[in-house]
Amino acid sequence: MLKRRDFLQLSAGGIAAALAARPAAAQGNYPDRAIKLVVPRAAGGVVDIIAREWSGKVKGLGTVYIENMGGGGGVIGATFVSRAPADGYTLLVGTTSELVISPLLGKQPYDPVTSFEPIAIMCDSPAAIVVHPSIPVSNLKELVAYAKQHKNGLSYGSAGAGTVSNLAGELFKEIAGLQDIVHVPYKGGAPAVSDAIAGQIPISTPMMSEQIWELHRQGKLKVLAVASEKRLRAIPDLPTAVEQGFPDLVARLFFGLFAPAKTPKEIIGKVEQATKVAMQDPELRKNFEAGGFETLDTTDAAAAADYVAKEVTRWKPILAQFKPQ
């Protein structure tokens, strides 16, 4: 005869087994609801563009909707994702700014290595040195000369404190000896570009994109250089800062997919595979390169983790010399 104690033990065991099976079943059905893709910048900026291009091409993940969480140079959005459930339904479009620069400058609510699971690094993009058309210069050396003649009142706008956009501006100031130029941080690239077009800020350091190049062609802004080692494949006529005599003015922003730490490997694998397929789409690659984004061969979790580690190593000695403001 089955005793009451035995019955309770069997029942408890069955319940435990059922509960243990639930995560596995959920992983097998992933995704069975919409995925939130957090963009830690304002809508319309370069990070937002990348996120929308990816979400528009990725297949097999059901509905992916974007939630913009600008502010704090990307830290606000990254913090949100780091604290989200590790179930694959909250992902981050992470960049150099919040995953490398900000943690090197000071303690953040998250750890860039232990708080996230890297999925893929899709592409990267250099910052650009841009001026309003009213500034009578056509290259970086002319800008330096102009700035030294107009020490009072010059400012530059960036996508936010601690961003690669900000770092590019501070690198330029340091290298050129232009410490009097005042930094004006914005909550994302889009509002900074709007004020640059309006002439509210004479100099800006946006991340290079199709929008910036189109504004250059229209004469609404003047792009003097990209902060890159080599010219962009899609915009070969645009000179680099390196070839204009500024070899250390290199500031590139990577764009990758990240999940909260401890997200199951099976889920990471599904997003990774979907991203690999999406990144082979000719139209997506064309759109990225036309916008100044260099596509990369780091669309797997291991390569993404290695890429981030190398960026930390590269930026650490640079940030030890001075801090973006």
Give residue 36's pLDDT band: very low, low, confident or very high (50, 70, 90). Answer: very high
Q: pLDDT tens digits, residue range 179-206?
A: 999 999 998 888 999 999 999 999 999 9
Instruction: Please tell me the predicted confidence (pLDDT) of residue 164.
Output: 87
Instruction: Please tell me the predicted confidence (pLDDT) of residue 10.
Output: 38
What is the spatial distance between Cα 234 and Cα 316, in angstroms, rounded to a whole number? 30
Instruction: Report if pTM > 0.85.
Output: no
The answer on pLDDT for 7 being more than 50 is no
Put residue 71 in one of left, alpha, beta given phi > 0 → left and psi -120 to 50 → alpha: left
The answer on pLDDT for 105 being more than 60 is yes
Give residue 322's pLDDT band: very low, low, confident or very high (50, 70, 90). Answer: low
Q: Indicate if 128-244 has the same CATH topology as 33-125+252-321.
A: yes
State the chain's mean pLDDT as an integer.
Answer: 88
- Sheet harboring 90-95: ordered strands across? 64-68, 35-39, 90-95, 252-260, 116-126, 294-298
The answer on pLDDT for 8 being more than 80 is no
Residue 208 token pair: 């290079």
The answer on pLDDT for 19 being more than 80 is no
101-110, 230-239, 255-264, 315-324, range with the lowest pLDDT: 315-324
What is the spatial distance between Cα 63 and Cα 58, in angstroms, rounded to a whole number? 10
Looking at 3.40.630.30, 2.40.50.100, 3.40.190.150, 3.50.30.30, the CATH number of the domain 33-125+252-321 comes to 3.40.190.150
At residue 206's C-alpha, the angle toward residues 200 and 207, to 5°, is 165
Average pLDDT over residues 135-149: 97
Give the residue extent of every domain in the chain. 33-125+252-321, 128-244
The answer on pLDDT for 3 being more than 90 is no
Q: Where is pLDDT greater, at 109 or 319?
A: 109
Return the residue matching tokens 């991340």: 207
CATH class, 128-244 region:
alpha beta
Q: pLDDT tens digits, residue range 210-251?
A: 789 899 999 999 999 999 888 888 888 999 999 999 998 989
Instruction: Please tell me the predicted confidence (pLDDT) of residue 1.
Output: 44
